[in-house]
Amino acid sequence: MTVITEQSAELLRRQDPQLADILDGERLRQATTLQLSAAENFTSAAVLAALGSPLANKYAEGYPGARHHGGCEYADLAERAAVERATALFGAEHANVQAHSGSSAVLAAYAALLRPGDTVLAMGLPYGGHLTHGSPANFSGRWFDFVGYGVDPATGLIDYGQVQRLAREHRPKAIVCGSICYPRHPEYSAFREIADEVGAFLIADAAHPIGLVAGGAAPSPVPYADVVCATTHKVLRGPRGGMLLCGAEFAERVDRAVFPFTQGGAQMHTIAAKAVAFGEAAGTGFTTYAHRVVANARSLAEALGEHGLAITTGGTDTHLLSADPAPLGLDGPAARARLAAAGIVLDTCALPYGEQRGVRLGTAAVTTQGMGEAEMVRIAALCAAALRGEAARTRSEVNELASAFPPYGA
């Protein structure tokens, strides 16, 4: 922990002990439990420092060189740095780093390319599509006519023949490729060919794999998609936020869709933290990290399968995996509750063609802590013990393992 962080914590303790206790509790929770949520990670101390910087005070509506507020000279420098680092990191012609979240980025992509009522083809929610891919509870399902594609019931893999048939039948204005729990790499070239055949835009929702893309551990959607939406947390290890990548021909449309259409002032402290994360991801150490994340996920999937869980698609190529605990007599919510009682934190998820929900696990955070494939085998055994109802004994072992790999050092 840096000196400034310690000073800030002490200041908060004196001024607002209630909130200090809450934050201390969260720090302890993260340090003594296993974070296996596929959407979470530990940022670097440098990213945290940027988030707590004086840029948190700055209002900077607009874009560098064209702000609606004065005093933005350093805000402009921070945003330009973030944009330059993002375009270099991902090989994109243009980047917008102002999106407040992944969902905000998707909303902006739709706003840039679509009009209300347009037809959109995306992965159906029962197969791993995100809320922004057509949920009736979300703006996407209310404003657009979504058609859902699925996966092969035998393999769990995307059925590209079905995607093509649906595209030919419905002639969508846009096709979305991306999922919150699909453990394999999408074939972006196949999606591009289908989109070109029917005259559709291709939007890649790369919220989950974008960090692997940065580290060279996953194929990039940038050469194929008209617009790429992503988050800056998860494997990328940046602050919670979103971004969009696109070619020069869509740059102005994307920027205007973010501001002024869907958002107001940019969160400059978060943008500075994004710049830090992009810089870190450009280093050779991040390449090693990204490949270790995938290796750990594969080891965890294999070990969980040996303990009786049914692993979707038989494994993973990414940082995440999904599993059906039904062979152990549990559904997803029950399994999550037992694991939570043992100090193992993860999510539930949809299962292809399943009536019950499964569980989704990710290895980004534990890899950041320094754990390797041997620890993944141990984690799988701890999960199995917890699912058998041995929460009390397992909780002690989980605390021991987590404490041996503190996220921010001893």
Kindly list the catalytic residues: 59, 61, 205, 231, 234, 240
Strand order in the sheet with 174-177: 94-96, 242-246, 227-231, 201-205, 174-177, 119-123, 145-149
Buried-state track 82-120, b at ≥16 Cβ within 10 A, e below 16: bbebbbebbebebbbbbbbebbbbbbbbbbbbbeeebbb
- The residue written with tokens 């055949």 in the block is 197
Q: Is 325 exposed, middle or buried (0-12, 13-18, 19+ CB in 10 A)?
A: buried
Residues 145, 170, 244, CA angle at the centre, nearest 5°?
55
H or E stretch covering 148: strand 145-149
Distance CA 357, CA 331 (A): 6
Longest CA pairwise span in the chain (Å) = 64
Contact predicate 58/71, CB 8 Å = yes
Distance CA 270, CA 53 (A): 9
SS3 27: helix
Q: Give CA separation, 255 vs 67, 99, 392, in Å.
A: 13, 10, 52
Closest CA to 295 of 397, 213, 178, 377: 377
